[in-house]
C-alpha cells in the first residue's frame, strides 16, 4: 500500500493475465463506489442530527481525524516501510503560512459542501453540486486566461439546463431548499478555486499531495475554532445530550476515516484504470447514489426530475470525453496547459488524494467533483 504520490507510472511491473487485471479493476472500482457512497450517506446522517445543529464542528472533527491519520500513516511507514510508503511530514510554520490562502478556500469548499448535503439531502445532492464543471470553465478563463472549445461549452450548457430543470422540479415537489442550492453553488465555485490555488502552493510542498492534505487540514483545524465560536456552535455542543456517548464519537470518527480513505481509493482507481475511466465511474456512481437515496427514502420523483439528473450526469460525462479528445488531438497544447487541465478537471466529489507509488498529482478535495 504505497501512498507517496509520485508522478510516473510503474513500467517495470510483470506481465499480468487479462483475468487478473479485470478482477483487480472491478475490485478497485467497487471499493471506490463503496467508500464514496458510504461517506456521502454517513455525512448526511451526521449533519441531519436534529439534536446537534453544528455542521462546522462536524467538519472540524473530520479534519482532526485526517491529521491524526496522517501522523499514524507516517508512524506505520517507519515501522513497515516495505508495506506502507507514506511521506515524512514535519510541521513548519513558514510552509503553513504559504498554504494558508488555499486552506481558506479549502474550508469554504468542505463546509459549503456539507451544508449543501445537510439542506438538500443525498437524492438532490447530485443536482445541487452539479456546477463544478461550469465554474471550472468560467474560472479557467477569468483567472488562467484559458479558452474553452464550443463543444465543451455546449456540454456546460447541458449541465446548466439539467441544473435549472432539477431546481424547478424539486421546487414543484415542495422539497426544495434554496439555502441548500445556494450552498451547493458556493461549494462548486470553491472546488474550482481550490484547484487553482493548489497549483500555486504545490511547489512549496515538493509536489506531494499528502503533504498538502496534512497542512490543509492542520490549518483548517485552527481556522475552524473561531468560526465555531462565532456561529454559536459551542453552545450547541454544551447542550448536546450525547456528548459523552461513545457511539456518537464512533460515527464521527468513522466519517473522518472515510474522508481520508476516499483519497486513497480515488488514487487507486486512477492508477489501475485512467483519469477518464475514473470520471466515467464517478458519474455512474453518482447515478447509483441518487437511485439508492430515492429508494431508501421511499420518494416518488417525476420523469422530468430524473431527466434533470440524466442531463447533469450526461453533460459531465460528455465534457470529460470532449476534453480527452481535444488533448489527444493537440499534444503541443496539452504540454503547455497540462497543469491547468489536470487541476481543473479532477475529481471533486471525493477528497481526491492520489495514492500509489507512481501516480500523477491530483487536487485534494472532499468528495465534491464534477462527476459528483
Has residue 348 been placed in a domain? no
Beta bridge partners of 6: 358
pTM: 0.78
Tell me the pLDDT tens digit for each residue of 198-246: 888 888 888 888 888 899 999 999 999 999 999 889 988 988 888 889 9
Q: Tell me: pLDDT of 136 over 90.
A: no
Residue-level pLDDT at 323 = 84
Residue-level pLDDT at 220 = 94
Has residue 235 been placed in a domain? yes
Query: Average pLDDT, stretch 174-202?
Result: 88
Residue-level pLDDT at 115 = 92
Query: Average pLDDT, stretch 88-97?
Result: 88
Has residue 105 been placed in a domain? yes
Residue-level pLDDT at 196 = 80
Has residue 267 been placed in a domain? yes
Has residue 142 been placed in a domain? yes
Banded model confidence at residue 352, pLDDT cuts 50, 70, 90: very low
Q: Tell me: pLDDT of 353 over 60.
A: no
Banded model confidence at residue 72, pLDDT cuts 50, 70, 90: very high
Tell me the pLDDT tens digit for each residue of 298-337: 888 899 999 999 999 999 889 888 888 887 776 544 444 4
Number of domains in the chain: 1
The burial of 262, by beta-carbon neighbours within 10 Å (0-12 exposed, 13-18 middle, 19 or more buried), is given as buried
Range of the domain at 138: 18-84+91-327
Has residue 365 been placed in a domain? no
Has residue 337 been placed in a domain? no
Q: How far is the first Cα of the chain from the last one, in angstroms, to the nearest whole number?
A: 26
Mean per-residue pLDDT of the chain: 81
Tell me the pLDDT tens digit for each residue of 34-45: 999 999 999 999
Has residue 258 been placed in a domain? yes
Q: Which three three-digit cell numbers place residue 325?
A: 479528445
CB atoms near residue 30 (< 10 Å): 11
User: Residue 326, Cα to own-chain centre: how many angstroms?
Assistant: 25
CA distance 138 to 135: 5
Amino acid at each position: 500500500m504505497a501512498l507517496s504520490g509520485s508522478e510516473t507510472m510503474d513500467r517495470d511491473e510483470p506481465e499480468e493475465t487479462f483475468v487478473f487485471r479485470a478482477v483487480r479493476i472491478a475490485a478497485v472500482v467497487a471499493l471506490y463506489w463503496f467508500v464514496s457512497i458510504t461517506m456521502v450517506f454517513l455525512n448526511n446522517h451526521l449533519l441531519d442530527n436534529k439534536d446537534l445543529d453544528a455542521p462546522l464542528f462536524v467538519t472540524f472533527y473530520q479534519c482532526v481525524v485526517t491529521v491524526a491519520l496522517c501522523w499514524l500513516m507516517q508512524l506505520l511507514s517507519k515501522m513497515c516501510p516495505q508495506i506502507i510508503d507514506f511521506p515524512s511530514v514535519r510541521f513548519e510554520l513558514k510552509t503553513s503560512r504559504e498554504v494558508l490562502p488555499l486552506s481558506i478556500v479549502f474550508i469554504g469548499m468542505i463546509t459549503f459542501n456539507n451544508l449543501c448535503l445537510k439542506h438538500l439531502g443525498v437524492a438532490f445532492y447530485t443536482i445541487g453540486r452539479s456546477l463544478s464543471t461550469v465554474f471550472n470553465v468560467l474560472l479557467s478563463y477569468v483567472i488562467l486566461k484559458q479558452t474553452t472549445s464550443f463543444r465543451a461549452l455546449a456540454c456546460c450548457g447541458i449541465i446548466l439546463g439539467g441544473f435549472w430543470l432539477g431546481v424547478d422540479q424539486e421546487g414543484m415537489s415542495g422539497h426544495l431548499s434554496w439555502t441548500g442550492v445556494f450552498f451547493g453553488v458556493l461549494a462548486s465555485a470553491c472546488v474550482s478555486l481550490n484547484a487553482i490555488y493548489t497549483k500555486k502552493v504545490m511547489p512549496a510542498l515538493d509536489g506531494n499531495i499528502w503533504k498538502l492534505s496534512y497542512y490543509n487540514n492542520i490549518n483548517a483545524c485552527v481556522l475552524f475554532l473561531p468560526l465555531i465560536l462565532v456561529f454559536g456552535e459551542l453552545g450547541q455542543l454544551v447542550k448536546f445530550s450525547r456528548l459523552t456517548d461513545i457511539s456518537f464519537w464512533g460515527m464521527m470518527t468513522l466519517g473522518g476515516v472515510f474522508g481520508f480513505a476516499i483519497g486513497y481509493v480515488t488514487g487507486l482507481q486512477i492508477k489501475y484504470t485512467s483519469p477518464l475511466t475514473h470520471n466515467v465511474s464517478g458519474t455512474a456512481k453518482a447515478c447509483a447514489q441518487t437511485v439508492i437515496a430515492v429508494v431508501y427514502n421511499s420518494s416518488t420523483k417525476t420523469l422530468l426530475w430524473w431527466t434533470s439528473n440524466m442531463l447533469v450526469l450526461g453533460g459531465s460525462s460528455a465534457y470529460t470525453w470532449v476534453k480527452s479528445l481535444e488533448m489527444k488531438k493537440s499534444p503541443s497544447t496539452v504540454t503547455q496547459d497540462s497543469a491547468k487541465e489536470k487541476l481543473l478537471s479532477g475529481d471533486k466529489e471525493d477528497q481526491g488524494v492520489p495514492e500509489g507509488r507512481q501516480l500523477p498529482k491530483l487536487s485534494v478535495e472532499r468528495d465534491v467533483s464534477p462527476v459528483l
